């Protein structure tokens, strides 16, 4: 057998016998490097040597060939300490153990809040992310009900490889939103004569209003009952959305300040033009399945629960009762 045929096997065997590294020292920081799409172990070897992760790129290539692992690897960002055993390095690359990051999007977050979190997680300027989220062309291309991505970035915890582009993350969130719309929910919406945008818009208001999970169906009933009677929703969360900045205590002056804003449901009838936040599938279900009650009014207690009433006189009495309780609390303090 020719020497050039034996050389790779001999080199690899020598490396195997020598251990090809071992456990890296505890005080050695891992080296971070990026593998471009389509690159294989043979190409990555030069990067590993340049980062000091392996001592010799040529021998590492021979070792990879000997193990039958000289193949394309998953693109992404890796972290491997110098001194790591070559067998473990290959396992990292071949199995695609890329660095990942978790992005948590709570229920009821607005597109502004989500944009800021995505910007921080991806080291992207916030303005660039918000511009993408307001891109009407992209909204149309992805067949999102619109008018923007507001309401259609599903609230959940996502895990993405480090370095994933913002647009790809947004696409994953939209896909997760679509997955929440089961055939059962679509059939229910059709039976009620509601469009997808109308359902998500109502669900987003319910999500923002319901601080206590168990009240969502009853809150939905209040809004659905008002819509059926042609009453204005008078939903505080829509005014907060129109203001663009959350107010700890919503005043009549705040309502007047945004009287012309179509999202102000105190001054405009029906649903606003689109969602005001990202609702969960639970809020979507509540919007489609309100409780069987005839409440038309609600007022929030300090703990976030509501007093539900059937007419304005009961509503006024409930508000007066809460004012008295608040005054007593201040006196006691």
Intra-chain end-to-end CA distance of the chain, in Å: 95
| 316 is a domain residue | no
Q: 10 and 78 share a domain?
A: yes
Q: 158 and 241 share a domain?
A: no
| 8 is a domain residue | yes
Q: 138 and 55 share a domain?
A: no
What the block records as the tokens of 295 is 């409440």
Residues 118, 106: Cα–Cα separation, whole Å = 13
Residue 163 and residue 124 in contact, taking contact as beta carbons nearer than 8 Å:
no
Q: Is the pLDDT of residue 14 over 80?
A: no
Q: What is the pLDDT of residues 67-86, one digit of tens each?
A: 888 888 888 999 999 989 99
Q: What is the pLDDT of residues 37-51, one digit of tens each?
A: 889 888 999 999 999
Q: What's the pLDDT at 330? A: 76
| 279 is a domain residue | yes
Q: What's the pLDDT at 205? A: 98
Q: What is the pLDDT of residues 220-262, one digit of tens each?
A: 999 999 999 999 999 999 999 999 999 988 999 999 999 999 9
Q: What's the pLDDT at 157? A: 97
| 326 is a domain residue | no
Between 316 and 18, where is the model more confident?
Answer: 316
Instruction: Using pLDDT thresholds of 50, 70 and 90, give the confidence band for residue 8.
Output: low
Q: For the whole model, what pTM was predicted?
A: 0.86
Q: Is the pLDDT of residue 299 over 50?
A: yes
User: 55: domain CATH number?
Assistant: 3.30.1490.480
Q: 113 and 85 share a domain?
A: no
| 175 is a domain residue | yes
For the chain, give the percent of residues with pLDDT over 70. Answer: 91
Mean pLDDT of the chain: 91
Residues 179, 310: Cα–Cα separation, whole Å = 37
Residues 43, 59: Cα–Cα separation, whole Å = 13
| 311 is a domain residue | no
What the block records as the tokens of 219 is 């809150």
Sign of the torsion formed by the C-alpha atoms of 130, 134, 140 and 146: positive
| 35 is a domain residue | yes
- Minimal CA–CA distance to 122: which of 78, 79, 161, 171? 161
At what angle are helices 111-122 and 166-180 packed, to 10 degrees? 140
Q: 82 and 131 share a domain?
A: no
Q: Counting Cβ atoms within 10 Å, is residue 85 exposed (0-12), middle (13-18) or buried (19+)?
A: middle
By DSSP bridging, strand 306-309 and strand 297-300 are antiparallel
**How many structural domains does the chain have?**
3
Residue 173 and residue 105 in contact, taking contact as beta carbons nearer than 8 Å:
yes
Q: Please say which residue of 157, 180, 203 terminates a domain.
A: 180
Residues 21, 83: Cα–Cα separation, whole Å = 6
Alpha helices (runs of H) in the chain, residue ranges in sequence order? 3-18, 41-50, 57-66, 86-95, 111-122, 126-133, 136-141, 166-180, 183-192, 196-209, 216-229, 236-243, 252-257, 281-288, 312-332
> 85 is in which domain, residue-wise?
3-95
Q: What are the beta bridge partners of residue 31?
A: 80
Q: 74 and 108 share a domain?
A: no
| 201 is a domain residue | no
């Amino acid at each position: 057998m020719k020497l050039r045929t034996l050389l790779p096997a001999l080199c690899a065997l020598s490396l195997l016998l020598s251990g090809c590294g071992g456990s890296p020292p505890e005080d050695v920081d891992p080296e971070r490097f990026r593998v471009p799409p389509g690159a294989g172990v043979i190409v990555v070897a030069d990067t590993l040597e340049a980062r000091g992760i392996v001592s010799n790129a040529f021998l590492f290539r021979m070792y990879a060939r000997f193990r039958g692992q000289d193949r394309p690897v998953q693109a992404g960002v890796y972290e491997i300490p110098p001194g790591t055993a070559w067998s473990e390095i290959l396992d990292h690359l071949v199995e695609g153990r890329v660095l990942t990051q978790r992005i948590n999007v709570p229920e009821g977050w607005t597109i502004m809040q989500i944009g800021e979190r995505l910007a921080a997680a991806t080291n992207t300027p916030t303005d660039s992310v918000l511009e993408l989220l307001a891109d009407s062309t992209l909204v149309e291309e992805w067949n999102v009900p619109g008018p923007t991505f507001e309401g259609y970035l599903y609230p959940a915890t996502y895990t993405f490889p480090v370095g994933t582009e913002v647009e790809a993350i947004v696409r994953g969130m939209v896909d997760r939103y679509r997955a929440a719309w089961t055939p059962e929910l679509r059939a229910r919406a059709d039976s009620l004569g509601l469009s997808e945008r109308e359902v998500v818009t109502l669900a987003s208001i319910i999500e923002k209003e319901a601080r206590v999970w168990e009240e969502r169906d009853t809150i939905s009933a209040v809004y659905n009952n008002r819509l059926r009677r042609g009453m204005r929703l008078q939903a505080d969360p829509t005014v907060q959305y129109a203001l663009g900045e959350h107010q700890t205590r919503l005043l009549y002056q705040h309502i007047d300040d945004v009287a012309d804003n179509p999202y102000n449901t105190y001054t405009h009838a029906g649903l606003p033009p689109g969602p005001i936040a990202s609702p969960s599938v639970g809020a979507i279900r509540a919007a489609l399945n309100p409780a069987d009650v005839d409440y038309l009014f609600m007022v929030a207690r300090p703990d976030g629960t509501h007093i539900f009433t059937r007419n304005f006189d009961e509503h006024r009495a409930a508000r007066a009762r809460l004012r008295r309780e608040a005054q007593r609390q201040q006196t006691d303090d």
